[in-house]
Amino acid sequence: MSLVALESTVFAHGLPRPLNLEVAFELERIVGEHGAEPHTIGIVDGRIVVGLSESGLRRLATEQSISKVSQRDIPVVVARKGMGATTVAATAWLAHRHGIEVVCTGGLGGVHRGDHFDVSNDLYVLASTPVTVVCSGAKAILDLRATREFLESLGVTVVGFGTSEFPAFYSSESGLPVDVRCDKITEVADVIKARQRVGLAKATLVVVPVPPEFEIPRSEIEPLVETAYEEAAARNIRASDLTPFLLSWISARSEGRSLTANRALLANNAAVAADLAVALER
């Protein structure tokens, strides 16, 4: 059976309630409809679960004090028997350990604006873990140029599915190139199989643009991002609280358009990830 690992932080921390649970179930349904088996990854009462049950999904989506778990946090949450939603980094690492090649998410973490020493662990895990991550580029709140350059420096192959540009999450255009464009799922699968054959111990990053009918042009979203950062600074919001605040603030100021785009790209990415997982099994 073709397997797809799904990140849990994307709904536990990235979407408002109760929409988050609805989206979590929707993504699993889409993966199943495209012929693959969904395995949403999380930590429940200190137990790593690769393939959350319905009750596990509900708990991560509704309970308070759900930890945002990157790779370094896994042993802490496990030792304390806590509840944790896994980031791209933790999801990719755990997926690889459990033999799952394809990981699906919305936006990748990356280099933060104004502080190029603040780099998401997502990028380092991609540089050392041979999996395939399907996403819509990096989150628009990040420094996309620096993130793209960092991926290049780390030696991570970036495949544009139906695009020649590294997507800017809410927008399809960034002005930044991918390493190779593929217009067919079978072409993407060929690149991944070649990486597996040559033994390259790095991820393949497959970037998929947001569906055009839900796209927000960068000329519209960029001013909102800049103002959101100014507001976060004024409130002294930082570290792990920063990203949820920025996304929530942008959603409110865009009258929900950013949230609608986020949901649409997540659904599209789930379909692409499932199609890819099926293609890799052929």
- Name the catalytic one among 7, 101, 165, 215: 7
Residue 9 has a pLDDT of 95
Residue 145 reports pLDDT greater than 90: yes
Angle, CA 250 vertex, CA 146 and CA 171 arms, to 5°: 55
- Name the catalytic one among 28, 139, 165, 215: 139
Percent of the chain at pLDDT > 90 equals 83
7 is catalytic: yes
197-205: average pLDDT:
98
7-13: average pLDDT:
94
C-alpha distances in Å from residue 74, one per residue of 33, 43, 60, 79: 31, 8, 15, 9
Residue 244 reports pLDDT greater than 90: no
Angle, CA 14 vertex, CA 244 and CA 189 arms, to 5°: 130
CATH number for the domain formed by residue range(s) 3-281: 3.40.1790.10
Residue 59 has a pLDDT of 98
Which stretch of DSSP H or E encloses residue 29? Answer: helix 19-33
Q: What is the CA radius of gyration of the chain?
A: 17
Residue 56 has a pLDDT of 98
Spans of all domains in the chain: 3-281
What backbone torsions phi and psi does residue 184 show, to the nearest 5 degrees?
Answer: -130, 145
Residue 245 has a pLDDT of 85
Residue 274 has a pLDDT of 98
Residue 239 reports pLDDT greater than 80: no
C-alpha distances in Å from residue 29, one per residue of 21, 24, 53, 246, 274: 12, 9, 13, 29, 11
* pLDDT, averaged across the chain: 95
In sequence order, what DSSP letters do the residues of 51-90 get, joined into one string? Answer: S--HHHHHHHHHSS--EEE-GGGHHHHHHTT--EEE-HHH
7-33: average pLDDT:
95
139 is catalytic: yes
Measure the CA–CA gap between 3 and 177, rounded to whole angstroms: 29
Residue 115 reports pLDDT greater than 80: no
Residue 117 has a pLDDT of 80
134-161: average pLDDT:
96
Confidence grade of residue 243 (pLDDT, cut at 50, 70, 90): confident
Entry pTM:
0.95
Task: Identify the sign of the CA torsion 42, 154, 150, 220.
Answer: negative
> Tens of pLDDT along 44-102?
999 999 999 999 999 999 999 999 999 999 999 999 999 999 999 999 999 999 999 99
Residue 116 reports pLDDT greater than 80: no
